[in-house]
Amino acid sequence: MSRLIALAAIGLGLVGCQGLILDPAAEEGRSADREADVADPLTVCESFDVGDLGMRRLTRVEYDHTVRDLLGAAARPGTTLSEDGSAGPFASNSRIKPSETVVDQYRLAAERLAHEVDLSSLLSCDAAAPSCARAFVTRFGRRAFRRPLESAEIDRYVEVFELGATAAGASPEDGARLVVEAMLQSPYFLYLVEVGGEEGEQAIVPLTQHELAARLSYFLWSSMPDAELDAAADAGELATLEALDAQVERMLADDRAADMLDSFHRQWLDTARLDREEKDEALYPTYDDALVRSMWDETRAFVSYVLRSDARFETLLTASYTLGDASMAALYGAGHGGGEGVRRIELDPRQRAGLLTQAAFLTSHSTSTDSSFITRGLFVRERLLCQTVPDPPPDAADNPPDLSETDAPRKEQWSRHLIADECRGCHTMIDPPGFAFEHYDAVGAWREQVGGWDVDPTGELVGAGDADGSFRDALELVRTLAQSQDVQRCYALQWTRFGLAREPAEQDACSVAHVRDAFLESGGDIRELIKAVIRTDAFRFRRAAREGSSS
Amino acid sequence: MKRFTRRRLLQALGAGTAALPLVPLLEREVEAATGDKRIIFFFTPNGLYRPGYDPSGEGRSFTIDPDRSLGPLIPYRDDMLVLQGLDNEAWFRDPHRPPDHGFRLTLLTGDASKFLYVRDSGANFNTIGNISIDQFIARELAAGTPYESLLLGVMSGGFATHRKLFARGSEDAVPVIDDPRQLHTMLFTDAGLDLEQLERVAARRRSVIDVVRGDLTAVEARVGANDREKIEAHLDAIRAIELRLDAASCAPVDLVDANAYPERGTLMMDMLVAALACDLTRVAVLNWGSAGDTRFPWLDANCDWHALAHHSRSAREQAGWRDQSELYAGATRVDQWHAAQMAYLLDELGERGIRNDTIVIWLTDQGQGSTADGVSTSSGSHDRRNLPVTIVGSGGGYFDTGRLIHYRSRPLNDLYVSLCHAMGLEHIRSFGLPEISDGPLPDLTG
């Protein structure tokens, strides 16, 4: 447990909210000793070491993408699988154990996929021919297990083929189907199994070329390697950092990388929850499934566009343009030029700047009836600054009070509610960056007034490292955040989590530091950031099994 | 208990093809035998609106007003126990007492939650860490049914903690099956196949399991301790699936489109009853709705369940109610509608002749959704004491039913021990935190 708490101290560390506003002098002292005060295990890079990644099971999205690439399957069986675990904001099954339910779901999905698969593209020989079983198992197994099979494994799956082909009423092709059914349930398919290579005396061992190829493709594409990556792994061509960089360049240019960028930002911004976010129809009559899709498409297209242009983090947070369809242009009160598709939209720079002023983020950080300054403020603290805000005290009301009175501006109404010191401590941290976004309603549209009072987006950020200071409005706040090294460190840490699909451990200190430094040195270049994650020891090495358990 | 497996059926028939025309009829041979005890945990979130629920009177003379929440269950009054004064005591004792809706993490375990994850957002800081009563009973019963338990949900997505009610003692919650299509495939996938076809399917599956098990074992030998736990869990799951291969299929329920909450509820209940009737399991959970965002437009209560439970202004505004009394009436309609679902479930169990062997217990996670009057602008917090408990079924005469019993603040743990006893697990003396569990509830038995 202590290690997990220590991990929470990544970046700017735990926000000890209590007493902050009660004693400003003490808070000043705290900030000054922050470095000394919160021992950050991930800043101490002393020796070559990596944490225990753990065998990671495919997530639902990875499962879908993998069967698409492996079988050409159009079905999306991932939606029938139980929920994934998480690493920070990101889906990851590196920690959780499989439930009986999910294993049964794998079985049902495998039976269905094997039954429906178009064998013509997978079976290059006549299934009835004597050598075909072995050829099929070798070839299909190579792709399903993401490595060449050992000869004993081939023998065992050939037996499965023969059993399937010779059962009463079966055809020779049924042998191939049974192999597909079985391989889709094998741990070598369902997990990224990393046990290869000679362990010897070393506590840290390099991944095999095939293991590395799988980590690459599941990071950059959420799917299995393609033929070119397979070939590179077979030829041992992923052994140098330069060769890795070249693969990353190639893979980032592929459409599948757009899925990955979308997936990262969708999870980081927590916009996926829009699929079941209802809004009050009377207040937001234009809000429907189609608008939600447009919001998602906007963020996806925008992120992808930025990566192809200057790839800078600052652009992501401050651009005064976006890419959207006509409904998004209408929501922003901007021109679109008509037509169906997504196109570049120039926005009013006095109203909009980057991702945090886009509808997908603003809408998902709102309630069904109004904006939510608390969830917006928490996002700044937790996901932009990587701070850990303690849970509210047990007896806190878990619904924010209604602030729809019109006798006073909302901020003032709210401060009346925050009487208890135990509330004010944290809310002084959370609320100001949230109130900065009050110009945007529950679907992200601009408004001048709330409850008959002019919006007051001014405020001051405290306890946020180099982002501290007062701001006039959300635009100024966002610009400050975009330039903050603390925010950039946090963004780098989020990518490290995402790339490794787990929480970095103490042993990953050097890897975390490497990613952070590379990102800062590049001037906030996201492509360099992605490459840096892949260049880390944590990405390319693993702990030997006998060392493996560090709980 | 009599169980007919396909294999035994085949043996009984001499496995000859001549017997095959009989087969479709024999599907129904796997009826649950009378005398085998079953239990269904009927769970709704957000507490109940108590003035609309609490019956009047006490003991045997309690009466249910037909217009109030329990009205639909009046036909079952004499087979019912209404229990008051039971507390989620474990939450109060939890050293990592989870805030907010975290009290669900201690609700069914009667034990402390676990403090596990780095909190990034939402409720992942604490998690359920012990075995929940449903899983405990299933494990202790060891009935040898194809499914040790079935956990079904009716659109129960939503708050993460809402789904983390059920666990087997590790930190990973047992998933609830929300998707009717998936449940249908699980339960009835082989329905309509004749015995010979079924044998062939089972043989295929057996060969797949053999080779998968071989791969798992090979991996297990080469990984560290953390990963070995995952492989062990995977192997356990494979073993459970293998045991099911010999189970006969049940007569299927029609898989109708059910995208609205009421229809979905009916479909899940129909499948549940079918599964119990052909003895696929003895322990089930029916997890109703999403605590956060289920709405009830057909009850003139078109507002978030959570906001409704808080009696909040936002609920009034969403539903278009003029005042608080309209809100309370709406909350009562929602509770009453769920009572009607429980009545339907009981009726259906009766149709299949297994109602008398089945305990249906309606549990919710709070005393009342709000401790506040709802008139002020601030909404109250959820109440973790005096949870309403409604049981129908005597557990083969274990409970002395037809009574309302008011306890003076007893932990839910006592109720859970009583449930164990009612299910024939008389050796269980305590459940959950030992300091608050020393036996069953008093005055319950006949």
Residues on chain A touching B226 (C-beta within 8 angstroms): 52, 54, 548-551
Rounded to a whole number, what is the distance in Å from the CA of B377 to chain A's nearest CA?
Answer: 6
Average pLDDT (B2-10) is 45
**What are the pLDDT digits (tens) for B401-418?**
999 999 999 999 999 999
Q: Is the pLDDT of residue A511 over 80?
A: yes
Is residue A147 one of the residues assigned to a domain?
yes
Final residue in a domain of this structure, among A152, A176, A192 = A192
Q: Whole-prediction pTM value?
A: 0.82
Choose the most confident range, by mean pLDDT, from A72-86, A199-213, A214-228, B7-21: A214-228
Select the more confidently predicted residue: B195 or A226: A226
Is residue A173 one of the residues assigned to a domain?
yes
Is residue A240 one of the residues assigned to a domain?
no
Query: What's the rounded Cα separation, in Å, for the pair B366 and B53?
Result: 13
The proportion of chain A whose per-residue pLDDT surpasses 90, expressed as a percent, equals 65
Is residue A494 one of the residues assigned to a domain?
no
Domain holding A335, by residue range, is 272-311+322-478
Q: Is the pLDDT of residue B196 over 90?
A: no
CB contact under 8 A, A157 and B181: no
Q: Is the pLDDT of residue A446 over 90?
A: yes
In B150-209, the residues whose Cβ lies within 8 Å of chain A are: 151, 157-158, 163, 170, 172, 174-175, 177, 179, 181-182, 185-186, 189, 196, 200, 203-205, 207-208
Choose the most confident range, by mean pLDDT, from A198-207, A531-540, B3-12, B95-104: A531-540
Is residue A1 one of the residues assigned to a domain?
no
- Position A300 scores a pLDDT of 96
Please give the mean pLDDT across all residues of chain A: 87
Nearest chain A residue to B91, by CA: A394
Q: Is the pLDDT of residue A23 over 60?
A: no
If pLDDT is split at 50, 70 and 90, which confidence band does A489 have? very high
Is residue A25 one of the residues assigned to a domain?
no
Q: Is the pLDDT of residue B125 over 50?
A: no
Would you identify the CATH topology of the domain B30-186+254-436? Alkaline Phosphatase, subunit A (3.40.720)
Nearest chain B residue to A111, by CA: B205
Final residue in a domain of this structure, among A412, A443, A478 = A478
ipTM: 0.88
Residues on chain B touching A278 (C-beta within 8 angstroms): 293, 295, 304
Cα first-last separation, chain A: 9
- Which segment of A70-79, A166-175, A421-430 scores lowest on mean pLDDT? A421-430
Same structural domain for residues A329 and A459? yes
Is residue A232 one of the residues assigned to a domain?
no
Select the more confidently predicted residue: B215 or A27: B215
Rounded to a whole number, what is the distance in Å from the CA of B446 to chain A's nearest CA?
Answer: 38
* CB distance A156 to B211 below 8 Å: yes
Inter-residue long-range contacts of B58-62, CB under 8 Å, 24+ positions, other chains counted: B58/B404, B58/B405, B58/B406, B59/B403, B59/B404, B59/B405, B60/B402, B60/B403, B62/B403, B62/B404
CB contact under 8 A, A99 and B295: no
**What are the pLDDT digits (tens) for A107-123?**
999 999 999 999 998 99
Final residue in a domain of this structure, among A446, A478, A510 = A478
- Position A8 scores a pLDDT of 36
Average pLDDT (A58-82) is 91
Tally of domains within chain A: 2
Rounded to a whole number, what is the distance in Å from the CA of B232 to chain A's nearest CA?
Answer: 9
Query: What's the rounded Cα separation, in Å, for the pair B263 and B252?
Result: 17
Q: Is the pLDDT of residue A395 over 60?
A: no
Residues on chain A touching B205 (C-beta within 8 angstroms): 107
**What are the pLDDT digits (tens) for B205-255?**
999 999 999 999 999 999 988 899 999 999 999 998 998 887 666 788 988
Average pLDDT (B258-268) is 94
**What are the pLDDT digits (tens) for A179-213?**
999 999 999 999 999 998 777 777 889 999 999 99
CB contact under 8 A, B223 and A548: yes
CB contact under 8 A, A391 and B125: yes
- Position B33 scores a pLDDT of 59
Nearest chain B residue to A381, by CA: B120
Average pLDDT (B58-80) is 96
In B269-288, the residues whose Cβ lies within 8 Å of chain A are: none
- Position A339 scores a pLDDT of 77
Q: What residue segments make up the domains of chain B, in order of their start?
A: 30-186+254-436, 193-248
Is residue A93 one of the residues assigned to a domain?
yes
Q: Is the pLDDT of residue B162 over 60?
A: no
**What are the pLDDT digits (tens) for A148-179?**
999 999 999 999 999 999 988 889 999 999 99
Q: At CA A177, angle to CA A172 and CA A182, rounded to 5?
A: 130
Q: Does B377 touch chain A (CB under 8 A)?
A: yes
- Position A16 scores a pLDDT of 61
Residues on chain A touching B186 (C-beta within 8 angstroms): 104, 108
- Of B215, B223, B313, nearest to A188 by CB-CB distance is B215
> Residues with Cβ < 8 Å from A131, sequence gap 6 or more?
A125
Nearest to A428 by CA among A475, A383, A373: A373
Select the more confidently predicted residue: A249 or B98: A249
Q: Is the pLDDT of residue B18 over 60?
A: no
